[in-house]
Amino acid sequence: MRLLTAALEGDLGAGQVGVVVSRAGVGKSALLVHLALDALLQDQGVMHVALRDSVDHVRSYYDEIFSGLAKAGRVRDKAGTMVAAERHRMIHSYASREFSVQHLSENLKMLRDVAEFRPKLLVIDGLEPDAAVSTVQGIKALAAKLKVPVWMTIRSSDASIPDAVWDEASVGIKLESEDRNVALSVLRHGLDDEALAASLDPETMLVLGEEGTPEARPAHTPRPTECTLYSGGANGAEAAFGEACEAWGVHEVNFTFEGHKQVRSRGRYELSPRELAAGDVSLVYVSRRLNRTYSEGSLIRRVLQTLWHMVSRSQQVFVIGQIQEDGTVVGGTGWSVELARMWNKSLWVYDQDQTGWYRWDGESWVPGTPLITSIHFTGTGTRYLTDEGRAAIRDLFARSFGE
C-alpha cells in the first residue's frame, strides 16, 4: 500500500472510482483485499461486494492475506487486529443472483438504518467488461451519494479498461504475470502506463524482497503445519492426498455425508443436510458445463455439493484425472475443476494419460510444475489412481515441503 499510495499520489478521494484490471487469475481479488484491509486497519468501514464468490470464499481471501501480513511482521497483535477489522467489514455476495447498483444502494441504506453501518470505502469484485460499462455510471453516482471512494475489478483478456469506464474512473491499476510473480502498473486515461519497480508475491500481494518478505523467486511455500487440505477422503486420489498430508504433518478436513463411502477417518467432517444445501446446484447446469449427462440421483448431487465445500474454502486446487479435448476433466471430479475456474482459483490437474501436470491460465491448459503455496488447498480426483498419479501427489508434497 505504501508503494501504491506513492504511485497514485495519495488515496482515492470521496466519490472517485478506481479500477483494477487484469486477465483471469492474476490477483485482482487479492489486491482488492489489500485496499480494503488498508482502510480496515485504520478503523474505517468497508463494504466488500463479490459478484462471483460466496461470502465464505471472500473471507478466505482476507484470512490468507492477513496471515501473510502477520508472517511478514506487519501486524503485531494478529488476533486482536483481525477482530477489530471484522467489526468494520461487511461482505455482500451476488454469486447466485444478478447484480444491480439499485439493489446494492438499497442494502446499504438498510445497513445504515438497522446496523448504523456507514462504509468509508466500497469495493466491488468480479465485473466483466460489458457489465462494467453498463454499471459504472451508477457506481460513480453511488460513490458520490455516499461520499466514499470505490475500487472495482474488471477481468479483461487484454488487461485493458473500456473507454466508457474511463469516462467515470479516475485511475486504474493493471496486474500482469511476470514469470510466477506479479507486475503492477498505474494507468491514467490517455497517458502511458507507469510500471512500478517491484514484483509482488502472487499469493499475498506483498512486495517481494522487502524486509520480512520473501526474496523474489518462482514461488514460496508455507510450513506444512500451517496448511489444511480440504478433500473427501474417498478411495483413490483423495485417500492418497490424505496419506501425504499425514506423512508431512498437514491438517486434513475430509467432508462426507450420510451414505458416502469414505476410507479416511483423519479430519472427518460430516456435512448436515443444511450444510449440503449450501452447495446445491442444478444438475442440468452441471451437465451443460461438463458436456455430459447427470441424472437426478441423490448420491451424485451430494457429491457435487461436497465438492463445493472443498473448493470454496481453498485458494489452490489440485486434481488427479484426465483432461478431455473440450478442456473439461473426466467424471464427477470435473465439477471441482469447473468451480475452481469459475472462482479463479489456482488450478492444477495431473493428467494420468499424459503423465504430467497442467495449469489453467484462464484460457487454456499449460504444462508446468506445481507447488503448494497456499495454506488452504483442495486435493481430489479419480478413484482409479495409477502409480504415476500416486507418485505425482507424493512428489508435489516433497517438492513443496521437502523430503
Residue 216 lies in a domain: no
Rounded to two decimals, what is the model's pTM?
A: 0.58
Residue 269 lies in a domain: yes
Provide the domain limits for residue 193: 2-200
State whether 20 and 107 are in the same domain: yes
State whether 182 and 258 are in the same domain: no
Residue 208 lies in a domain: no
DSSP string, 236-262: THHHHHHHHHHHHT-EEEEEE-TT---
Task: Answer whether 20's CB lies under 8 Å from 176's CB.
Answer: no
Which grid coordinates are listed for 28?
A: 485482482
Residue 44 lies in a domain: yes
Residue 209 lies in a domain: no
**What is the spatial distance between Cα 401 and Cα 372, in angstroms, rounded to a whole number?**
8
Residue 364 lies in a domain: yes
For the chain, what is the domain count?
2
Residue 212 lies in a domain: no
Residue 219 lies in a domain: no
State whether 19 and 59 are in the same domain: yes
- Domain end (from 165, 185, 200): 200
Which grid coordinates are listed for 91?
A: 461482505
State whether 56 and 154 are in the same domain: yes
SS3 state at 146: helix
State whether 254 and 156 are in the same domain: no
State whether 50 and 195 are in the same domain: yes
Of 5, 91, 6, 94, which Cα lies nearest the Cα of 40? 91
State whether 179 and 33 are in the same domain: yes
State whether 246 and 307 are in the same domain: yes
CATH of residue 47's domain is 3.40.50.300
DSSP string, 305-349: HHHHHHHHT-SEEEEEE-B-TTS-BSSTTHHHHHHHHHTT-EEEE
State whether 192 and 233 are in the same domain: no
> Mind listing the pLDDT tens digit of every residue in the chain (403 residues)?
777 777 777 778 899 999 999 887 678 888 898 899 888 888 899 999 999 887 877 887 787 777 767 666 656 666 667 777 778 899 998 887 889 999 999 999 998 888 888 999 999 999 999 999 999 999 999 999 999 999 999 988 788 899 999 999 999 999 887 766 788 888 988 888 888 877 777 666 777 765 444 444 445 678 899 899 999 999 999 999 999 999 999 999 999 888 778 889 899 998 888 777 766 565 455 555 555 555 555 566 777 778 888 888 888 999 999 998 888 887 767 888 888 887 778 899 999 999 999 999 878 898 888 999 888 999 999 999 999 999 999 999 998 998 6
Task: Answer whether 147's CB lies under 8 Å from 120's CB.
Answer: no
CATH of residue 232's domain is 3.40.50.450
State whether 241 and 388 are in the same domain: yes
State whether 156 and 242 are in the same domain: no
**What is the spatial distance between Cα 139 and Cα 60, in angstroms, rounded to a whole number?**
26
**What is the spatial distance between Cα 173 and Cα 185, in angstroms, rounded to a whole number?**
6
State whether 151 and 235 are in the same domain: no
- Domain end (from 165, 200, 235): 200
- Domain end (from 138, 166, 200): 200
Query: Residue-wise over 134-166: b if at least 16 C-beta within 10 A, else e?
Result: ebbeebbebbeebebbbbbbbbbeebebbeebb
